[in-house]
Copies of this chain bind each other. A is one copy, B any other.
C-alpha cells in the first residue's frame, strides 16, 4: 500500500453567483482596496489517502468528492495527488 497526499480545489461553477465573494469584494472596496475585483471564494481540501496505486487513490477521492466533499451541481473540483512516504 502507498501513501498519497491529495489536494482538492473546489470552486463555484461559472455563472453561479458567489455571495461570499461579492461580500468580501464590497468589504475590500470599502477598505481602500479598490483595485481588486471579481473575488470568488472556493474551498481548499487536503487529505491523506492509502491506496494500491495512484489510479486507485484518485478514484477514491473522486468518489468522495461526488458523494460528500463537493456539490457537483454548483461546484467544480480539481484533484492533485502526490505520492508520499510508505506508511
Q: Which residues of A contact B (CB under 8 A)?
A: 9-11, 21, 24-25, 27-28, 31, 33, 35-51, 60-61, 63-64, 67-69
Contact = CB atoms under 8 A, between A and B. Distances in A.
A9 B60 CA distance: 24
Contacts of A44: 9-11, 41-44
Given A11-B44, A31-B64, A40-B46, 13 more contacts: A21-B45, A24-B45, A28-B64, A31-B68, A33-B60, A35-B49, A35-B50, A36-B60, A36-B61, A36-B64, A37-B48, A39-B46, A42-B44
A14 B50 CA distance: 21
A48 to B, nearest CB: 5
